[in-house]
Structure 1
Amino acid sequence: MDPAELVRPPFDPQEAAAFFHDDENSSSDDSTVSSSSARVQPPATTGTASATTPSDKTTQPSPVLPPSSASGPGPDSDEDEDEMPDLYIPALIAPTMFLPIPNTDPLSTLLNKYILPEKRPMRDLTGEWQRHDFHSLVMSNSWRAIARMTRDRLVASNPEEISAILPLWFLRLSCLARLRLFNQCTAECTNLYSVLSSIEPLSSRKYIFDRLVPFELEVLHARLKYWAGDSVGYLDMMYGLVKKCKLMAKIALEEGEREREKQMERERRGRAALVAMWRERGSRIALIIASQFIEMKEFTAATRLLAPLCTSSSPELCSAVGRIYLQAGLLDQALAEFNIVSESIRHKTLVNMNAALMASAQGDWVRAEEVLRGVVATNPDDFVAVNNLGVALLNQGKLKEGIEVLEGALRKSPFEIVTTEPFLFNLSTLYELRASHGMELKKDLLIQVAQLSGDGLRTTCLKMPTN
């Protein structure tokens, strides 16, 4: 399972401060599936079905959110204005830096194989973007069009405007990742970093990496190791980013202290914002690292990494750690974390979801169904709970009820459901087990997905082989 797609609950970055606390004596330099199985998202159980948990959607680096303009203080700040070198790097916008995007995808392959020509929905794979605004492209998951838009804007950019070029590069690469064109993303990102690493003089190169390269681009660059299958190298680069976050937060804090002594209120607030920014970045990198540990079945390492983030008893983080314990089969430790959350009156839904997941891990699917029905009755739009309810029904052999629950959610919110891969996987599994005409039902689902999902769907969730 891709670690960027593991469930992570939202958290307050201020509550992660303990993770970045250095001891006084420490140095800043230290530091596939069968027809009856179902997609598992944390926590995994010994059952045959897949349960999902409430989460932020943090799959690939998202082109929806614009990247921060720099890793540190921006080049427009007063203190850096005189230090900014003259930059002119035409190689960053050369057309030869980019590869052509394929005009087909796995979803089209499935349509060509299973759907008659007269029934196939029309899909635009040209990447034409000129007649659409950016917001509509994002909302329709048109990553191919956005990737081509950013390429066109890059080649037309002024080579002197590096602070605008690099965020466009991040957008281009993250769209390629959304399209699951990982080899192409790797090739183009390698081209980019080759140019950046060859900039002379050294002072200009250092300025660009320290001030202008978006932090999100650094995270994506580290991701290349994961796509290459180098899990250890990937972890090394991610830990390097955590170290950078800790160091930058410490530097910003020390500078803030000096400014505080001089009663420079405006600058002090700016430094406090930098401290918060680097702590939040470091916390999110820690969650990505924990996801990688989970994929490697290193559950102990994942819990040890996240435990310091729970020093303030954040319900979301305690739940996350508890769910990792569930995956490791350590039910007593998971229950201890869930008990901390159960004391929170403001997080009733989270408490109930934890209870349902614990019941699922214990094989008590009747209890899980009871709890999840209560959650759905309170919030019918909680599609995570709806999906998990379908899983609980599946594991009790209530296939017809499970299909009705999931199909009801699909009818109610099709645009959201057709992009939720575990939901589609579980519905496809129910079709296979319930009906003799399960393939026909999956074909109808394929048509609906092709009409609404946009680009980048992992088609294996439909359980329709391509060969």
Structure 2
Amino acid sequence: MAAPQRPEQGHSRHPSSDTRRVAMPRRSTKGPLDVDASAIPTFQPPTPALQTALPPSPAPTSMPIRTASPAPSLLSPAQQNPASVRTRSKSPAARTMQLDLSLLLRPSLYAPVPTTPIAAPFLDSSHQPAPDTDLETLLSNRRFIHAADKATDMLTSGTISPSDTPRILELLYTRFSCLVICNQSTLAAKEAKPLSDLLARESSTYTRPYREIFLSQIPWPLRLLLLKLQVLGTADMHRRAIMGLYALSSECRTLAQKAKAEKDDTTFKLWTNRLADLGLRVASELVEMGELETARRHMGSLSSATTSSSTAEETEKMCIRKTLLLLKIGDTQAAKHTLSICSSSTNKLHLQVLEALTHFSSSDLPSAISSLKSLAKTHPQNPLIKHNLAIAYLYSNNVILASEILEALVTEDEVLFPCLLFNLSTVYELRTEKARERKLELVDKVAEVGSNGKSEMQVGGFEKGLAEFKLA
């Protein structure tokens, strides 16, 4: 007689039926790190502008909001790692003061700044600062390559406590910004990723009120720089940047509302000004991605978002930025209208220069040259007026006069900035067949002028790259 068969493990046989019970399928559940892909909207170029008007104020809240600058939520939940770099405390408020940044003090995270793109005369030993020069002196003398390496040496020296959050973040901001100025944005993005990951991971552990307190430890300029570096090199870089700016704008509106409800005028002004700044940054990204019509509609809705809470100087600065963006788009009528809003500004020179540039953008070169010549006579020490006048002469086919003005800016006024050097190199290409020799002579002149430390318009650092002289 055959032995009776045993039912399979995990199933039981009903006494009156051969039908086996089938285990119910596991119900899908979502943990804190799961993301519903359908909930992620597909980004389209934003037709409506960034909302700068604040909604009605909510009822006063008992949670005090710190007025220090917060930091952005840098990564999506799917990218976040729940592992902690420090021991958790039961009190979220207490945890905000225990951020452990020892992970960012490892020398292996940082590399020396490459000098191969730099023209050889700037690397001569006679032009190098002393090894013991402090960071502040290097920054004031615009020695940004040396400043970037100095900031790294200070971070990895072992003399900074991992819990000294303000000092570490200050040095990291110095390091990343110097790399960007030295045209090493790719290296800056690579080195900034550990900080971005850490801030995203840490901020995800807090509920909203405590998260705001945690993010207030991160300087606002560092948040903007990290956002830019995070999207650098991606296929849809500008779209991702716009999405990040909109996320920051939502935070600005929320904190401005709270400040208004608490009658904190200083904090309210801070966040509304940042909101207006983000609006222009969105417009700039739209221009860079070629969405000119969207950018025009966007700026048309920004109007005068800062006039109610900003000083005259802040309003004028925003007006100048908006005008330059409109001129870049080619909407000269809107640019003239924006200038008329700032007609009561105490600094008339900037507005007069912008008015001359509107003539330039409208292809009215005679009016642009006449305006710039008049301004150059009234303000002979202003190098930007002379530079714009030289470009106006260049576009009117007066290459020789344009060359004379640009060369005088370098040799006599000792003015150095990348746009001037690039344009003068272009003039050499138009005037002579020995353009390379003239460019190499210009490199030597600039190295000598920059090394004396007297140049007031030295923009982009002392060490000039080959690309600035069109030699790369």
TM-score of the superposed pair, with normalisation by structure 1: 0.69
Structure 1, residues 404-447: CA drift from partner, whole Å, max 9, x if none? 11122222332xx32x2221121112122123433222111112
Is it true that 1:20 corresponds to 2:52 in the alignment? yes
- Measured in 1, the distance between the counterparts of 2:140 and 2:224 equals 24
Is the CA contact 2:203–2:214 (under 8 Å) kept in the aligned structure 1? Answer: no
- Report what 1:422 is aligned to: 419
The verdict on how the C-alpha distance between 1:121 and 1:223 changes in structure 2, with shifts beyond 3 A counting, is closer
- Report what 1:366 is aligned to: 366
Is it true that 1:240 corresponds to 2:247 in the alignment? yes
The verdict on how the C-alpha distance between 1:127 and 1:442 changes in structure 2, with shifts beyond 3 A counting, is closer
1:379 shift after superposition = 0.9
- Report what 1:326 is aligned to: 327
Is the CA contact 1:432–1:438 (under 8 Å) kept in the aligned structure 2? Answer: yes
- Report what 1:405 is aligned to: 405
Question: Counting helix residues as a fraction of each chain, which structure ranks higher?
Answer: 1
- Report what 2:70 is aligned to: 71
Is the CA contact 1:97–1:188 (under 8 Å) kept in the aligned structure 2? Answer: no
Is it true that 1:213 corresponds to 2:221 in the alignment? no
1:375 shift after superposition = 0.8
Please list, as runs of the form range in 1=range in 2, the aligned pairs for 1:282-301 lying within 5 A after superposition: 282-301=275-294
Structure 1, residues 93-119: CA drift from partner, whole Å, max 9, x if none? 4324522114423123xx4xxxxxxxx
Is the CA contact 2:110–2:152 (under 8 Å) kept in the aligned structure 1? Answer: no
Is it true that 1:182 corresponds to 2:185 in the alignment? yes
Larger RCO (alpha carbons 8 Å, 6+ apart): 1
- Report what 2:273 is aligned to: 280
- Report what 1:438 is aligned to: 435
Q: 1:250 aligns with which of 237, 257, 262?
A: 257
- Measured in 2, the distance between the counterparts of 1:101 and 1:339 equals 49
179-188 vs 313-322, which moves further: 313-322
After superposition, the CA RMSD in angstroms is 3.6
Is the CA contact 2:122–2:463 (under 8 Å) kept in the aligned structure 1? Answer: no
Paired AA for residue 444 in structure 1: E
Is it true that 1:461 corresponds to 2:455 in the alignment? no
Q: 1:170 aligns with which of 145, 170, 173?
A: 173
The verdict on how the C-alpha distance between 1:97 and 1:331 changes in structure 2, with shifts beyond 3 A counting, is same
Find the residue that maps to 1:310 and give its secondary structure: coil
- Measured in 1, the distance between the counterparts of 2:332 and 2:101 equals 57
The verdict on how the C-alpha distance between 1:321 and 1:86 changes in structure 2, with shifts beyond 3 A counting, is closer
Q: 2:164 aligns with which of 161, 165, 173?
A: 161
The verdict on how the C-alpha distance between 1:427 and 1:236 changes in structure 2, with shifts beyond 3 A counting, is same
TM-score of the superposed pair, with normalisation by structure 2: 0.69
Is the CA contact 2:145–2:178 (under 8 Å) kept in the aligned structure 1? Answer: yes
- Measured in 2, the distance between the counterparts of 1:134 and 1:457 equals 20
Is the CA contact 1:123–1:450 (under 8 Å) kept in the aligned structure 2? Answer: no
1:196 shift after superposition = 3.5
Paired AA for residue 165 in structure 1: I
Is the CA contact 1:71–1:210 (under 8 Å) kept in the aligned structure 2? Answer: yes
1:126 shift after superposition = 12
Paired AA for residue 71 in structure 1: P
Q: 2:117 aligns with which of 83, 87, 106?
A: 106
* Structure 2 gap ranges (5+): 1-49, 59-66, 72-90, 451-457
1:372 shift after superposition = 0.3
1:81 shift after superposition = 13
The verdict on how the C-alpha distance between 1:82 and 1:244 changes in structure 2, with shifts beyond 3 A counting, is closer
- Report what 2:395 is aligned to: 395
Please list, as runs of the form range in 1=range in 2, the aligned pairs for 1:217-228 lying within 5 A after superposition: 217-228=222-233
* Structure 1 gap ranges (5+): 1-17, 27-67, 73-79, 112-119, 257-270
Find the residue that maps to 1:20 and give its secondary structure: coil
Please list, as runs of the form range in 1=range in 2, the aligned pairs for 1:12-161 lying within 5 A after superposition: 20-24=52-56, 70-71=69-70, 83=94, 85=96, 87=98, 89=100, 91-96=102-107, 98-108=109-119, 111=120, 120=121, 122-123=123-124, 130-155=131-156, 156=158, 157-161=160-164
- Measured in 2, the distance between the counterparts of 1:129 and 1:235 equals 42
Structure of larger gyration radius: 2
